[in-house]
Amino acid sequence: MTTRPRVVILGGGIGGIKAAQQLANQPVDVLIIDHNNYQVFQPLLYQVATSMLSTDEVVYPIRAFFKKAANVDFMLAEVNGIQPEAKVVKTSHGDVAYDYLIIALGSTPNFFGNQEVERNALPLKTLQDSIRIRSHLLSVFEAAAAETDPEKRKALLTFVFVGAGPIGVEGAGGVSELIYDVLQKEFHHIDFNEVSIHLIGADKCVLGMMPEKLRTEALHVLQKKHIEVQCSMLVTGYDGETLSYRPMSAPKDAPRSTIKTKTVVWSAGVRPVNCLNGFECEKDRGKRLLIEDTIQLQGYDDIFAVGDCSSFTPAGEQRPLPTLAPVALAEGQLAAKNILHTLRGEPLEHLHYKSKGVMAIIGNKEAVMAAGPLRSRGFLAWSAWLWIHLLTKAGFHSNITVTFKWLFNYLSGARLGRLITRPELPGLPEALRNTAEKTVPTDDKQVSKAS
């Protein structure tokens, strides 16, 4: 009996799953390895963090993608390293051999070496992150309601988002609506004039990938939502009590501005995951794996890399393709196609990626969108954002509940997911800690155990 070639895919994100779908029911054996048994739809994580959606509405079981593809299997394991000379992947369940390898491990938050910020800030990258932020946001309001010291209460009611890209803008807008549309009606003894929300970015403007008019519109909407925006700023430290920052153009020894806060949400950049650190191959300045336009890793014919962990700069361009979902989908699909072309002895295809546009949602009925010559803002862009994300997200049943919740929120402004499932706020009063919910609701049981 002839052994079929084995394709191992590291990572069950959108790039890895797209590659596996392309290889489904083809004359290869496919093994997907991931430390989660679900795919996360990351664009909606901020909606879990701000209590609009539940966890099961932004994830989809990996095995469910391949119910009709007997040649695709899944392994729940940690990836510890790659040994290309032996054609082996090191995992928490032992060595896994491959004939072809697709690296689709995504990325992890980049704190740029600032260990103090890394210890104390709240990243928004994983499902566990969104649950933690949700619980943290609700916990600080419970703590503020019982706090009698004005300075401590002010720090509890101060929220800082670092990073002025889509995640920071969408997160800050979502928190503003949670606070002023929902919590303000429920916390009767808090003076909401004490609440402050800050968005701090290193770029010269918010949503730097957008045309200037849309950037200006986004800034205007953020300001209407009581969000103070400061760009061209470098965060220099956060010890859990005080955030310090300075202008990007200022010398290192320049005086720092400070904000007293218990909440810093970090979305200022990403880097490749740690298990790729020891992998010897060509990398860019950000340690991302350099690939050819065939999606093959430079110097390797049998290894492909897709998505956030890879870097490809098209001819004539000065910057690599952005770390966006459409890029990962295109690369994942082409990596799988080129593996099949190789097996058939056919010429390989080359990547010709053309951006379909960029968009960001800032809140209910507020968004900005640029797609080719089309420029849109407000309700139309908001509607397009909702429909595009519904069409992209996996899971028919969850899409029904997501649509219902979006409609319900549009009509009533309610946030149905206001659950404190992980009371981790340092300094939370003991009385509140004792009464906080200690059990995890059904939709959060699995992810709580995994974190």
Q: Which of 77-91, 117-131, 355-369, 418-432 has the lowest mean pLDDT?
A: 418-432
Q: How confident is the model at residue 2 (pLDDT cuts 50, 70, 90)?
A: low
| Angle of the 325-344 helix axis to the 14-23 helix axis, nearest 10 | 30
- Residues 234-249: tens digit of each pLDDT: 999 999 999 999 999 9
Decide if 217 contacts 377 (C-beta within 8 A).
Answer: yes
- Residues 27-54: tens digit of each pLDDT: 999 999 999 999 999 999 999 999 999 9
Q: Exposed, middle or buried, 262 (CB in 10 Å: 0-12/13-18/19+)?
A: buried
Residue reference for tokens 């209590």: 51
203 C-beta neighbours (distance < 10 Å), count: 16
> Structure tokens of 168?
């920071």
Say if residue 361's pLDDT is above 50: yes
- C-alpha to C-alpha distance for 260 and 244, rounded to whole angstroms: 9
- C-alpha to C-alpha distance for 247 and 28, rounded to whole angstroms: 54
CA distances from 346 to 3, 340, 349 (A): 21, 8, 9
Residue reference for tokens 């539940």: 54
More confident residue, 325 or 417: 325
Residue 85 designated active-site: no
Say if residue 333's pLDDT is above 80: yes
Say if residue 429's pLDDT is above 50: no
Say if residue 437's pLDDT is above 90: no
Q: Which of 89-103, 189-203, 403-417 has the lowest mean pLDDT?
A: 403-417
Q: Which of 93-97, 277-281, 424-428 has the lowest mean pLDDT?
A: 424-428
Q: What is the 3-state secondary structure (H, E, C) of the chain?
A: CCCCCEEEEECCCHHHHHHHHHHCCCCCEEEEEECCCEEECHHHHHHHHCCCCCHHHCEEECHHHHCCCCCEEEEECCEEEEECCCCEEEECCEEEECCEEEECCCCEECCCCCHHHHHHCEECCCHHHHHHHHHHHHHHHHHHHHCCCHHHHHHHCEEEEECCCHHHHHHHHHHHHHHHHHHHHHCCCCCHHHCEEEEECCCCCCCCCCCHHHHHHHHHHHHHCCEEEECCEEEEEECCCEEEEEECCCCCCCCCEEEECCEEEECCCEECCHHHCCCCCCECCCCCEEECCCCEECCCCCEEECHHHEECCCCCCCCCCCCCHHHHHHHHHHHHHHHHHHHHCCCCCCCCCCCCCEEEEEECCEEEEEECCEEEECHHHHHHHHHHHHHHCCCHHHHHHHHHHHHHHHHHCCCCCCCCCCCCCCCCCHHHHHHCCCCCCHHHHHHHHHC
Residue from 57, 142, 147, 170 carrying the catalytic annotation: 170
Q: Which of 60-69, 345-354, 393-402 has the lowest mean pLDDT?
A: 393-402
Say if residue 261's pLDDT is above 80: yes
Q: How confident is the model at residue 422 (pLDDT cuts 50, 70, 90)?
A: low
- C-alpha to C-alpha distance for 163 and 208, rounded to whole angstroms: 11
List of domains in the chain: 6-35+77-107+272-344 (3.50.50.60), 115-269+358-433 (3.50.50.100)
Q: Which of 236-240, 255-259, 327-331, 407-411 has the lowest mean pLDDT?
A: 407-411
Nearest-CA neighbor of 297 among 318, 276, 316? 276
- Residues 180-236: tens digit of each pLDDT: 999 999 999 999 999 999 999 999 999 998 999 999 999 999 999 999 999 999 999
Decide if 26 contacts 6 (C-beta within 8 A).
Answer: no
Mean per-residue pLDDT, 386-404 = 87
What is the signed CA dihedral for 113, 119, 124, 125, rounded to 10 degrees?
A: 60
Q: How confident is the model at residue 431 (pLDDT cuts 50, 70, 90)?
A: very low
* Per-residue model confidence (pLDDT) at position 416: 76
- C-alpha to C-alpha distance for 9 and 105, rounded to whole angstroms: 9
* Per-residue model confidence (pLDDT) at position 395: 83
Mean pLDDT of the chain: 90
> Structure tokens of 85?
């000379």
Say if residue 417's pLDDT is above 90: no
- C-alpha to C-alpha distance for 381 and 294, rounded to whole angstroms: 34
- C-alpha to C-alpha distance for 74 and 31, rounded to whole angstroms: 5
